[in-house]
Structures are given as C-alpha cells and as structure tokens.
Amino acid sequence: MNITVSSMRHLTISSNLATVLGLLILWELVWKLVALWHAGRNNQLGWFLVVGIINTAGILEIIYLLFFQIKNTDSK
C-alpha cells in the first residue's frame, strides 16, 4: 500500500475536524440539557420549545440561562 504525504495530511485534517466537531457537539449538548432543565422547571414552554428545536452551539442556551431564566427566591 502506497501512502503519500498528501493523503497523510488529509487524514490528519480529517481527524482534527472530527475532534473539533465532537467537542462542539458535546458543548451544545451540555448547555442544551441545562437550559431545557431550567425552562421545564420554570414552566417556560416557549423557551423550552425554542431551546429544544434550534441549534446555536450553546449561545441561545447561555443567553437564556443568564438573562431570561426565572430566578427562584424560595430557599428549601
């Protein structure tokens, strides 16, 4: 089997891209689950649907958690 430098470079770029894509998917999943959890617990159906449907690499989820989440003042 003859492996050229060009094919090895392509393989390296492909594996790097796969790693970055995997990390981006993990990042999105973590933020999405946290935002969905809080939207569901706060009975915010609109936010729950938007966060669940739209994929924004975690940006929309972070905005929701920082600015639009209902803050619970009850201490249990």
The domain limits of the chain are 25-76
Residue 36: DSSP 8-state: H
| pLDDT tens digit sequence for 19-52 | 988 999 999 999 999 999 999 999 999 999 999 9
CA distance from start to end of the chain = 67
Does residue 51 contact residue 60 with C-beta atoms inside 8 Å? yes
Share of the chain above pLDDT 70, in %: 80
